[in-house]
Each structure stands twice: as structure tokens, then as C-alpha cells.
Amino acid sequence: RRAGDRDGAGGGGVIGKVGVIGAGLMGTGIAAQVANAGLPVVLLDIVPGAAARAVAAALKAEPAAFMHPRNAKRVEAGDLDADFGKLADCDWIIEAIIERPGAKRELYQRLEAVRKDGSIVSSNTSTIRLADLAADMPPRFAADFLITHFFNPPRYMRLLEIVAGPATRPQAVAAIRDFADRRLGKTVIDCADTPGFIANRIGALWISAATRHAIDLGLSVEEADAVAGKPFGVPKTGIFGLLDLVGIDIVPHVGDSLLASLPPDDPYRAVHRAEPLIARMIAEGRTGRKGKGGFYTLHRNGADRVK
């Protein structure tokens, strides 16, 4: 069974209706998972028509965000400005927009005007600290706000990182933890409010070390994954296959963000600087499956080793 593919009708206890803002890769995948779990979802995007297009695309056999037509009926796609009021009766509003603190904070200000008392707001940010997102927000918002960091693709990745702030209501955290565990099939971990939380902080080191060693030892992608992938519990894709799947441009994205927020004397700073190979692949558009191929098509570009 895939995480969250239970098709129970009706609400999820305290959480009966969910809003998702940002109908990109993550927001659409999260909305699909919530709908597959049997709840009504409002999915909004700032680009007119984008949310409707995302739902239409998810109905096709795209496994990462796939929604059964029966479940897609539960998703109400709309445009941010015209349909903002539809968030008013949502019990949990998940923000999955562009990774810019200013844009996220502006959206939270607007949310304060429409969301109902006791509703929970969470950010899917992968790198921004809660303290930065909640800065200058009113106490009402801070009490209902936490980070819920889903992983791509939400349907298959069971981990959910939760970060609560000093002002977050314990009941809000408990409600999300319970819902994610019981309705979405997630393994929930509580993280401190530190750059990269847990998984990306460790994952970045691990990807960087795997790439560096593969280059130094002259390994093929398959050989490197045979050592550093499956034995460490990576799904059958392996490390390099996972990078091809999520997009190789995520590597400097996470690395740069960590470098911007880690203290100057952090012992692992050097590891977060992207390999020249990665920068070259991105410059050439070889960002993985969404681009012109990635690590698993290196050989088609004349290289059978990672170099």
C-alpha cells in the first residue's frame, strides 16, 4: 500500500478539510495524497488556471502525483486571488509556494484575514527556519503555525518532518502528527528549527560524499549506487536514481541555502559546495528526468564513469 492511499470517506477527526496553496510539484502531490486519503481539498495557485491544469495532469498515469478520478472529485482547484475565500473553512492550510521567505510571509498575512479560528497553517519549506517565517507575525498566527516538510514524491515518501516554534500550540502539533500518521501513513519526526532540519542536512552530506567518492574511485553510476544506495535503505532508485527523479538542480539549491544559514565555523560547510560535475550537468540542462537526462544517462553522453 502506498502512503496515504486509504480511501475512507469522511473527515479525519479534527481535520476534515485541507487547503493547499501552490499547485507545483509538491503542492499537487500533497493535495493528491490528502484526496486519496478521503478528504476534501482546496488547491490554489497564483498563476490563473495552474491548479486546474495540475489536477488534470495528475489524473493521467503520472505515478508521483497520481489521483484516481474518484479522489480527484474531492479536489477543488482554484486561483489564489479569486478563490482565496475558499480557505475559510479549511482546518489545515498547507503552504507549498515558491521557496522565498518574503513571498511566504506575505501570504501568511493575507491568510490571517480569512482563516477560521483554530485552523492550522503549515509550511512545506525545505530550508527556511520557522523563526524566520514566523518573524513579525501576530501571536494568533504563531500559535497555529508549524512546518510540515513532505518529501518528493509525497505519495511514496513516508517521512514527514515537523518543526514547531516556541509559540506553536501543542494541540496543533498533536493534531497534525496524528493525522499524518493515521491518515497519510507517514512516519513523523520532530525536528529542531535548524537549517535543513534533519533529512536534508544529512542527505546533502550523503549525496555530496557519494558523488565525490564515485568520481575519485572512477565508479560507474550503477557501481556507486550498489555501494551507497540500497544497502543504506534507499528505495530501488539508489542515490543517483533518486537525484534523477527529484531533479539534480535541487543539490545546489539545498547546498546554497544551507551555506547561507549555517554558522561560519560549521565543520561541514565545504561539503555543501556543489561538485563542478553537478554544476556542469545543470548548465547543460541534464537535470534528470525532467531535463535532458541525468546520472543514469551519463553513458549516453560519452561517459560510463561518474566524472
Interacting residues with ligand NAI (CB under 6 A): 21-27, 45-47, 50, 80, 96-99, 103, 107, 124-126, 149-152, 246, 250
Q: Is 132 left (phi over 0), alpha (psi -120 to 50) or beta?
A: alpha
Consecutive H or E run containing 66: none
Least distance (Å) from ligand NAI to the CB of residue 223? 26
Report, in Å, the least distance between residue 302 CB and ligand NAI: 29
Q: What is the DSSP letter of 9?
A: -
d(Cα 157, Cα 218) in Å, to the nearest integer? 31
**12 secondary structure, DSSP code:** B
Three-state SS for 23? coil
Instruction: Indicate the residue among 80 and 248 with the shorter CB distance to ligand NAI.
Output: 80
In the complex, minimum distance from the CB of residue 76 to ligand NAI, in angstroms, rounded to a whole number:
15
Judged by beta carbon, residue 78 or residue 185, the one nearer ligand NAI is: 78
Q: Is the CB of 95 or the CB of 275 nearer to ligand NAI? A: 95
| 110 within 8 A of 147, measured Cβ to Cβ | no
Can you tell me the distance from the alpha carbon of 268 to that of 272, in angstroms, rounded to the nearest whole number? Answer: 7
Contact residues for 102 (Cβ-Cβ < 8 A; gap 6+) = none
Give the nearest residue (CB) to ligand NAI.
Answer: 24
**Minimum distance from CB of 51 to ligand NAI (Å)?**
8
- CB-wise, 202 or 226, nearer to ligand NAI? 202
Please tell me the distance from the alpha carbon of residue 298 to that of residue 23, in angstroms, as a whole number. Answer: 31
Q: How far is the CB of 307 from ligand NAI (least distance, A)?
A: 26
* Residue 210 or 219 with smaller CB distance to ligand NAI: 210
How far apart are CB 128 and ligand NAI at their closest, in Å? 7
Q: Which is nearer to ligand NAI, 41 or 219 (CB)?
A: 41
| Residues with Cβ within 8 Å of residue 33, at least 6 apart in sequence | 3, 4, 154, 155, 184
Instruction: Report the nearest approach of ligand NAI to the CB of residue 232 (Å).
Output: 19
Strand order, beta sheet including 92-95? 75-79, 41-45, 18-21, 92-95, 120-123, 145-149, 159-164, 187-190
Whichever of 120 and 246 has its CB closer to ligand NAI, that residue is 246
Helix (H), strand (E) counts: the chain: 13, 8
